[in-house]
A and B are shown apart, each in its own frame.
Chain A
Amino acid sequence: MSTGITKRIIACLDVTNGRVVKGVQFVDLIDAGDPSELAHLHATSGADEIVLLDITATSDARPILIDVVRRTARQLFVPFTVGGGVRSLADASALFDAGADKISINSAAIKAPEIITEIAERFGSQAVIVAIDAKRKPWLASSAASGAAISAGGTISAEVYLAGGRVATGRDTVEWAREAESRGAGEILLTSMDCDGTRTGFDCPLTAAVAKAVNIPVIASGGAGSGDHFVEVFKAGCADAALAASIFHFGIHDVRELKAQLQREGIPMRLPC
């Protein structure tokens, strides 16, 4: 039986210094445009949600750019998530005031997980996304895309990283996703650092491991390069949503065309959109 709900295609804007940028595996950034213009472009071309991440806010130890958020949110009428450098309930409140519907927390949630509960109690769990940057353990990373990276215990072994992929935590990805859910997270945004920017496909085994471990939606991120990759992450990866950046920014894919392909492959999509 059809569940009725569609799988979501999310366009991500990685922002630094007020401009959208794109890097490969979190480094080597190039300019991709204005956040407000790109957000509207993606929304009108069929993206189901927009995510704006200030990717250097944490590493620069500065607050997120509120005016960029406000300008981007003003005429955006699809769900809008903002993340990067959210450290406190006050930071989150300021972003909601500026027009964010959800905030994404990453480093701060690992350092002080009670912030998840604090924001969820004030604004609702639906407004709290815990973002996890995951990297396979070195001896398994090479097999991430092959689906063979299962440890002896039958579980996926990936480590959580902080500060835009700059700091290893020693925490296990699946275990941290479960804890985030129990503390009140409404969704998990899972980025594979091994796959990010490579355009070779999502880390489907890792996505599936997290999606099966929690009862909240899991957004897969990192590695999108073709329509087939999206098909794989919704089928084998059990993702509820898939996020991509560069393939949309540079017009390699029209979101509507991508959604039509997925619909043909039997994946429920919001169409027409």
Chain B
Amino acid sequence: MITLVDYKAGNLTSVRKAFTYLGQESVVTDDPALVRQATAIVLPGVGHFFTTERLTSSGVREAVCEAIERGVPFLGICVGMQWLFAGSTEAPEAPGLALFEGACERFNTTLKVPHVGWNQIRRAPGSAPSRLLEGVPDDSFVYFTHSYRAPVVDGVSAVTTYGETFAAAVERDNIFGVQFHPEKSGDTGLRILKNFCDYAAKGVRDEHWDH
């Protein structure tokens, strides 16, 4: 069961139907108590970084942090990935989880911003083999739509270039994030979501094993 966190900042239908297509059950909630019980958490996000403040005020932030700490698989999408960094210059007053180093900044390019459309991802130089991107060749196309981007730091598993090179995906232990929208990225995106589901299912099995 995937717990999809709804913080009223966008539309979860597309993400949910992708999991349904993959045969994965999901539940949508904004209740910290349900997030605490989750066996896998997905945080889709769109729009302004400031909307992540709702996660703090509702108590969901704390619940997510506790779950991550316990080893519950977590996947942040778009702003959900940016939230894993220290924050964003889009809303300096709203701190992120600082699980990855650095903060998100607006694209520094003469190209059009937002960055909207299909672009290619490739493994970050020197990064460990990615479980999330298993079976996804370098230069695969995925769909982006964003104006702010995360820096290429330790834990970044894939990068993309749009005027400058930025973090397309992050991965460490049970924590995953993607700047692009896997639910809108055709077969490549479905493969990535399936990899997360497979990892999450394995996590639950291991937990039972321990007991």
Interface residues of A (CB under 8 A from B): 2-8, 43, 48, 73-75, 77-80, 96-101, 120-127, 186-187, 215-217, 240-241, 270, 273
Interface residues of B toward A: which range? 35 or more
Determine if B119 and A77 form an interchain contact, defined as CB atoms under 8 angstroms apart: no
CA–CA, A96 and B186, complex, Å:
19
CB of A4, distance to nearest CB on chain B (Å): 4
Interface hub of A74, A78, A100, A120 (most chain B Cβ within 10 A):
A78
Determine if B141 and A270 form an interchain contact, defined as CB atoms under 8 angstroms apart: yes
6 smallest beta-carbon distances between A and B, as pairs = A124-B47, A124-B46, A96-B11, A126-B145, A270-B118, A4-B161
Majority secondary structure of chain A interface residues (helix, strand, loop or mixed): loop
A75 surroundings in chain B (CB, below 8 A): 17, 21
Majority secondary structure of chain B interface residues (helix, strand, loop or mixed): mixed
CA–CA, A215 and B113, complex, Å:
6
Determine if B46 and A126 form an interchain contact, defined as CB atoms under 8 angstroms apart: yes
Convert B44-78 into 0s and 1s, putting 1 for each residue whose CB lies closer than 8 angstroms to a CB of A: 00111000000000000000000000000000000
Interface residues of B (CB under 8 A from A): 8-11, 13-14, 17-18, 21, 46-48, 111-120, 141, 143-146, 160-163, 181, 183-187, 189-190
CA–CA, A187 and B115, complex, Å:
11
CA–CA, A124 and B77, complex, Å:
14
A101-B17 in contact given A123-B11, A217-B112 (Cβ < 8 Å): no
Of A5, A80, A96, A99, which contacts B162 at CB under 8 A? A5
Determine if B183 and A77 form an interchain contact, defined as CB atoms under 8 angstroms apart: yes
CA–CA, A215 and B162, complex, Å:
15
Determine if B145 and A77 form an interchain contact, defined as CB atoms under 8 angstroms apart: no
Determine if B184 and A77 form an interchain contact, defined as CB atoms under 8 angstroms apart: yes
A43 surroundings in chain B (CB, below 8 A): 186
Determine if A73 and B11 form an interchain contact, defined as CB atoms under 8 angstroms apart: no
> Residue on A with the closest CB to B16?
A99
CA–CA, A72 and B11, complex, Å:
17
CA–CA, A120 and B51, complex, Å:
13
Determine if B10 and A123 form an interchain contact, defined as CB atoms under 8 angstroms apart: yes
A5-B119 in contact given A79-B184, A126-B145, A217-B112 (Cβ < 8 Å): yes
Determine if B190 and A8 form an interchain contact, defined as CB atoms under 8 angstroms apart: no
A101-B48 in contact given A5-B117, A241-B117 (Cβ < 8 Å): no
A79 surroundings in chain B (CB, below 8 A): 143, 181, 184
Determine if B162 and A126 form an interchain contact, defined as CB atoms under 8 angstroms apart: no
